[in-house]
Amino acid sequence: MYQTIRYEKQDQIAIVTIDRPEALNALNGTVITELELVVAALENDRDVRCMILTGEGRSFVAGADIGEQYPLNLDGGRRWGQRGSALLRRIEKLEFPTIAAVNGFALGGGCELAMSCDIILASEKAKFGQPEVGLGITPGFSGTQRLPRRVGVAKAKELIFSGKMIKADEAEKIGLVNAVYAPEALMDGALEMAKSFTKNAPIAVKYAKACIDRGMQTDIDSGIACENELFAMCFATADQKEGMGAFLEKRSAQFTNT
């Protein structure tokens, strides 16, 4: 169905692979269009409880396709940035957990794409960076907004102003990456984490994600009020009765997403 994307489901886990290895999976118009289509499908698929996003070959996403960007003018640059930022915001707002399994280069738009996911796991061979200033531009897919939220303002400024690449171990040290794996173990690690999410009540996981994301953008009292409301709403679900009933009966819960 796609030229530059592979999409599959393992049980309730969606695996999305950017498959343009000859260009180190650089983001061009076709990749963006196909990611938009995949995200639209995920937004409407109640069977999916987690997504893993990765890249084919030795790169996650090495950045945007510079050949496509070079001739852009003011209006073209604005449209490109708005389109990419809108796509990444849709990924960020998916109701279920999302994991970026970064197998290699995650530079520029690739780093920004990884940061739109809830969790970033990295291969020991992964490298991260926002090198846009060396090309005469700023990060364009919301990197100036997400990187400070991930690693703190001062470290984000250092990385963006210098444009330097950092290895996976440093990315883990500064909080950009959750865990680092041997290259051959990365996808197994991502699947194991995904399964640790999908075994739980999907509505509760969705509400927990909403509480965290909303709370990080507001004051603590508003965040607590959000949690109180979504906590209460859990008690209107069949999964709450199943989860607590299974605990009391000392059996495994069978959640139905209702």
Please give the structure tokens belonging to residue 153. Answer: 């303002």
What's the CA gap between 193 and 253, in Å, rounded?
Answer: 19
**Is residue 198 a contact partner of residue 190, using CB atoms and an 8 Å limit?**
no
Give the N- to C-terminal CA distance of the chain in Å, as an integer.
Answer: 31
The residues annotated with a catalytic role in the active site are 112, 132
What's the CA gap between 26 and 164, in Å, rounded?
Answer: 18
User: In the Cβ-directed half-sphere of 53, how many Cα atoms lie within 13 Å?
Assistant: 27
Please give the structure tokens belonging to residue 162. Answer: 């210098």
Burial of 242 (0-12, 13-18, 19+ CB in 10 A): middle
